[in-house]
Structure 1
Amino acid sequence: MTTAPTILDELEWRGLLAQTTDEDALREHFAAGPVTVYCGFDPTAPSLHFGNLVQLVLLRRLQRAGHRVICLVGGSTGLIGDPKPTAERVLKTKEQTAGNVDRIKQLVQPFLDFEGDNAATLVDNLDWTAPLSALDFLRDVGQHFRVNQMIRKEAVAARLNSEIGISYTEFSYQILQAMDFLHLFRTFGCTVQTGGQDQWGNLTAGVDLIHRVLGERAHVITTPLLTDENGNKFGKSEGNAVWLSADMTSPYAFYQYWINIADSEVGKLLRVFTDRTAEEIAELEKATVDTPHLRSAQRALATDVTTLVHGAEATAQVEHASQVLFGKGDPTALDAGTLRDATAELAGGEVPVGSTVVDALVAVGLAESKGAARRLIGEGGVSVNNVKVNGVDDVLDEQAFLHDQVALVRRGRKHIAAARKAS
C-alpha cells in the first residue's frame, strides 16, 4: 500500500528542502496535525528581493496545505543586521528601519491569506524586544548561549578570521533571532522556523534556546540557495538585485528577468515558484528541447511569477508591452508606467513635435542620413507605433508621442528605437 504524498514530499519534489534538524521527527510532527511555522524578514532595504520570494512561496505552500504560518518583520533585528561574511553592515537609522518595516508589511500581504479560519499572522519583533532592558536580555537570554559555540557559526567564523573582525552588535544577532523563536513558541505554539540554507546557524540557535529554556523540541527547515549552472545566485540582473517592489524593479523588468532564464534552469524555477503540476512542467521542459525559440517554459514562468508578485493586470500590461516591442501589438493600449518601463532601455534620442519621420530616423540612430531614411520609407520598411509609414513627408505630431512621452520608431522587424519627446 502506497502512502499519500505529504507537504514535505511536495517541498522536496519542488526543490525547497535543503536541510532539516531531524527529517524523520519533522515528518511525524507534520503528520500529527496543523503545525505553526514562521519565517523572518529583516527590513535592511525598502523591499524584499528574489531570495525572500523563495521563503514567501514556501510559507504560501505550507498555509495552503493547512498549516499555520507567521510572517515576522524584523523591526529590531533590522536595526542590528545579520552578519555578512565579508564586511560590517552600515546600520540603518531607526526612522529608516521603521519605514522599511511598513513597506515590507504591505509587500507580504498578497502572498498569504490573512483572513479566515487559518489566517496568517504578521508580527514585528520590535514589539517584544524594545521593552526588554539590557540587563534582562543578558540575564534571561544571554546566559543560555556559549561563546565557543557562537563563534563556530559560519558568518561569525569568517569574520573572526578576517582583518575586519566583528562587532559585538552583529555578534549578538543570533541571540536576538533565537529569542524570536522562543517568543513565538511561547505565544503562538510555533515549532518550526524556515530560512535560507546560509542561515542555518542563526536558525538552529533558536532550536537550542527553546530546548535549554523550556526543554521542548523545535525544528528548522532551510531552502537551497538557488544558483545557475555557473554557480551564480539567481536574482541578479546585470549586477542589480531583482526586487519585489514595483518602484525598485518595475513589473516589466521583473517579467523580462524571468523570460531570460536559461533553458537548462527554467524547469527548476518552475518547480520552486509556480503551482504547475509535474506533468505541466515536464511538458514545458520538453518544449525547451523541441521548440526552444518559442520560450514557452520561460513565458509560463514569467507570467506565473509576475502575476503572483504584481497581479494579473500588471502582468497583462507587461506581456502586451513585450508584444509591442516585437511589432505585434497596439502601443496605445499600454498605460504610462508600463510604456515608460518598456522603453527605458531602448536606444533613441530626443525629437521635437512636428519633426518629419525622416528627421526622427536620423535622430534616433536608425538611419545614417536623411537620404537613407527616405529610401527606407520608400521601401516600406519604417513604422511609427507599429503603423507603417507611407510618405517621406509624414511627421510626428502630438498624438504620435504616447502618453506625451515617446514614439516607437521601427526599421524593419528587428530594429526599434525610442523617439523621446523633446521638452
Structure 2
Amino acid sequence: MTTRLLDLASPTAGRRPGITSVCSAHPLVIAAALAQGRDDGTDVLIEATCNQVNQEGGYTGMTPADFRRFVEEIADRVGFDRARLILGGDHLGPNPWKALPAEEALARAGAMVAAYVEAGFTKIHLDTSMGCRGEPEALPDAVTAGRAARLAAISEAAGPEGSEKPVYIIGTEVPIPGGAFEALDHLAVTRPEAALETVAVHRAAFADAGVAGAFERTLGVVVQPGVEFGNENVVVYDRPAAAALSAALDRMPGLVFEAHSTDYQPAEALAALVQDGFAILKVGPGLTFALREALYGLDRIAAVMDGLAEDDTLAAAMERLMVAEPGHWAKYYPGDASAQRIQRHYSYSDRIRYYWPHRAASGAVERLLSRLAGRHIPETLVSQYLGPFYPAVAAGTLAARPDALLRAAVQRALAPYRAACGIGS
C-alpha cells in the first residue's frame, strides 16, 4: 500500500494521478465509499483525525485498532477487498492535548502515532504546527519540523518487525478542520517559497533525528491552494492564483500536494486541482452533508406517508438533541436564534455530523428506517423530496429503498472526486 501511495508522485503520459481521502467515521459514508471502490476495482483511502480517533478513544470512543476493525467489518459486509483498503491518520500531533505543556502533549502525541502505526495505518500526516501551553498559537517552521521528526522517529520504531513502513505527509499551512467559522470570499494561497522552505527544514530535521529514510517516504506537503468553505459559502479553486505554487512541485521531486477542505468544490475545480499536483483530495463534511440531505428527504417522505406530527420527525429529534447539547456547534455558528437554527441543520460546516453517533440520534434514524423498511415509496415522493435520484428511480436503475437512496447520496457526492482522479472515465 505504501508503494501504491508513492505512485501518486509519478505522473504518467502527462497526466497526474490523484486519490480521494475519505475523512469520516460515519458507517454509512464508509460503506458507500467502499461499495464504490468495490464496483470500480480501486483502492479506497479512509482517514481518521487525531481528535476523532486516538489511544484515549477520541470523540468517537475508538482507538486506532478499533477504527481499523470498524472499517474492515464494513468492508467485509459490502464485499470490498481489504487488500485495497488504505488507512490514514490525519493531523497526528499534540492538538488534542495542546492545553498541556509541550513535553507532556508531545509525549501523548508520540503514543498516538505509535498506536496508529501499530494498528496498520500506512499514511501518516504529522501536524505539529500548533503551540502548546505557554507557547504562541503558531510555531516557527524549524520548531514544527523538529517536533514532526521526533514523531517520525517514534513512528519508524513502531509496528511489528518487518511490517510495512508508512508514508508521511508534512506541512503547516493546514485549513481549519471542518471549515471556517466566518463567510469567506478569498484565501491567500501558500507562497511557493514557503512550501519549499517547509520541505527543506523537514528534510534537515528528519536527518538530524536519524530518520532520513522516513523522509524518503514523505509523499506530500499540506498547502493552501485557495479552497475552503464557511458555514454558508464555498471558496472555489482559482487555478491562475495557484499557478506559481503548482509550478513549485517541479523543484520538489517525489512530492505532491495534499489539499484539505475540498468539500463542495465543483467537478471542474477538483479536476484542475489534481492536474495541478494537488493529488490528495480530502473530503469529509461534504459527504455527511449529502447523507443528512438524504436522511431529511426520507424524513419528509415518512411524514407524508404516515401523517406524522412535526415533533415525531427525525429533524425535530436532531433539533432537540443539538439544543440540549450545544457543545459541538454553539461557538461555531454566529447570528441570532433563527440563523443558528438554520445552521444547526444546513451549514456547510455540517457540525450536525458530531451528533449522529449519539444514542438519541441513532435511535431516531433507526426509527425512521424501520418505518420505511419493506414499504413501497412512491416515485412521486422521491421526485418531491429526493429530486436528484428521481430519474434513476423512475428508470428502474435505483431502488426506492432507504438503504439504496442513502448510499446513492454519498456516492453522488463522491462522483466528482472519482472523475477528477480519472476513475470511470
Pairwise same-fold verdict (TM > 0.5): no
Greater RCO structure (CA 8 Å; 6+ sep) = 2
Which structure's CA Rg is the greater one?
1
TM-score with structure 2 length normalisation? Answer: 0.29
